[in-house]
Amino acid sequence: MTAADDFRSAAHTAADLVADHLAELPARPVWQPMDDAARRTLLDAPLPAAGRPLAELLAAVGRDVLPYPMGNGHPRFFGWVNSAPAPAGVLATLAAAAMNPSSAGGDHADVHLERAVVRWIAELVGFPHPAGGGLLTSGTSMATIVCLAAARNRAARAAGWDVREDGLAGMPPLVGYVTGETHSCVRKAAELLGLGSRHLRTVATGPDGHLDLADLRAAIARDRAAGLLPFLVVASAGTVGTGAVDAFDPIADLCAEERLWLHVDGAYGAFGVLDPVIAHRYAGLGRADSLALDPHKWLGVPVDCGCALVRDTAELRATFSLVPSYLRDEAAGELGWFSEYGTEQTRPFRALKVWATIAHRGRDGLAADIARTTALARRLGELVTADPEFELLAEVQTSIVAFRLRPAGLTEGAVDALNRDLPAAVQRRGRAFLTGALLHGHEMLRACLLNPATTEADLALLLAEVKAAARETAGERPH
Ligand SMILES: *Cc1c(COP(=O)(O)O)cnc(C)c1O
Residue 38 lies in a domain: no
The whole domain housing 352 covers 94-357
pLDDT (average), residues 361-372 = 98
19: which residues sit within 8 A by CB, 6+ positions away?
Answer: none
C-alpha 154 to ligand 1 mean position (Å): 24
Confidence (pLDDT) at 474? 81
Mutate to test the pocket of ligand 1, among 181, 183, 399 (most ligand atoms within 8 A of CB): 183
Residue 73 lies in a domain: no
C-alpha 353 to ligand 1 mean position (Å): 19
- Given a cut of 60, whether residue 367 has pLDDT beyond it is yes
Nearest CA to ligand 1 atom 7: 139
pLDDT (average), residues 58-83 = 98
Confidence (pLDDT) at 324? 85
CA distances from 59 to 54, 65, 363, 440 (A): 9, 10, 38, 48
Residue 447 lies in a domain: no
pTM: 0.97
* 36 upstream amide cis, omega within 30 of 0: no
Residue 40 lies in a domain: no
Instruction: Grade residue 476 by pLDDT with cuts at 50, 70 and 90.
Output: confident
Evaluate the CA torsion angle 451, 455, 459, 462 in order and state its sign. Answer: negative
For the CA of 266, the closest atom of ligand 1 is 13
pLDDT (average), residues 350-363 = 98
Nearest CA to ligand 1 atom 12: 267
- Given a cut of 60, whether residue 416 has pLDDT beyond it is yes
C-alpha 307 to ligand 1 mean position (Å): 11
- Given a cut of 70, whether residue 87 has pLDDT beyond it is yes
C-alpha 132 to ligand 1 mean position (Å): 23
pLDDT (average), residues 284-299 = 98
DSSP lists the bridge partners of residue 419 as none
Phi-psi category of 85—alpha, beta or left, where left has phi over 0 and alpha has psi -120 to 50? beta
Residue 304 lies in a domain: yes
Mutate to test the pocket of ligand 1, among 80, 140, 246 (most ligand atoms within 8 A of CB): 140
User: Residue type for 465, please?
Assistant: E
The phi, psi pair for 216, rounded to 5°, reads: -60, -45
For the CA of 238, the closest atom of ligand 1 is 13
Instruction: Grade residue 327 by pLDDT with cuts at 50, 70 and 90.
Output: confident
Mutate to test the pocket of ligand 1, among 81, 297, 446 (most ligand atoms within 8 A of CB): 81
Instruction: Grade residue 76 by pLDDT with cuts at 50, 70 and 90.
Output: very high
| Residue 332 neighbours by CB distance under 10 Å | 17
For the CA of 183, the closest atom of ligand 1 is 11
For the CA of 294, the closest atom of ligand 1 is 7
Confidence (pLDDT) at 478? 57
C-alpha 298 to ligand 1 mean position (Å): 11
CA distances from 150 to 52, 263, 327, 341 (A): 48, 11, 22, 9
Task: Identify which of 221, 249, 223 has the alpha carbon closest to the alpha carbon of residue 235.
Answer: 249
- Given a cut of 70, whether residue 57 has pLDDT beyond it is yes
CA distances from 250 to 52, 63, 230, 244 (A): 61, 55, 17, 16
For the CA of 269, the closest atom of ligand 1 is 13
Mutate to test the pocket of ligand 1, among 82, 185, 187, 271 (most ligand atoms within 8 A of CB): 185
Residue 284 lies in a domain: yes
Q: Per the structure, how many domains does the chain have?
A: 1
186-219: pLDDT as tens digits: 999 999 999 999 999 999 999 999 999 999 999 9
C-alpha 97 to ligand 1 mean position (Å): 25
C-alpha 268 to ligand 1 mean position (Å): 6
* Protein residues with CB under 6 Å of any ligand 1 atom: 81, 139-141, 183, 185, 240, 265, 267-268, 294, 306
Mutate to test the pocket of ligand 1, among 265, 271, 303, 343 (most ligand atoms within 8 A of CB): 265
**pLDDT averaged over every residue in the chain:** 96
Q: Let me know: does 303 contact 296? Beta carbons within 8 Å.
A: yes
Instruction: Grade residue 477 by pLDDT with cuts at 50, 70 and 90.
Output: low
User: Residue type for 383, please?
Assistant: L
- Given a cut of 80, whether residue 479 has pLDDT beyond it is no
Task: Identify which of 211, 295, 216 has the alpha carbon closest to the alpha carbon of residue 245.
Answer: 211
Cα distance between residue 24 and residue 117, in whole Å: 31
Confidence (pLDDT) at 326? 85
Nearest CA to ligand 1 atom 15: 268
Residue 286 lies in a domain: yes
251-278: pLDDT as tens digits: 999 999 999 999 999 999 999 999 999 9
Which strands form 400-405's sheet, in the order they lie side by side?
390-392, 400-405, 442-448, 435-439
Q: Let me know: does 254 contact 276? Beta carbons within 8 Å.
A: no
C-alpha 188 to ligand 1 mean position (Å): 12
C-alpha 186 to ligand 1 mean position (Å): 9
User: Residue type for 190, please?
Assistant: A
Residue 312 maps to which CATH number? Answer: 3.40.640.10
Residue 198 lies in a domain: yes
Q: Let me know: does 151 contact 231? Beta carbons within 8 Å.
A: yes
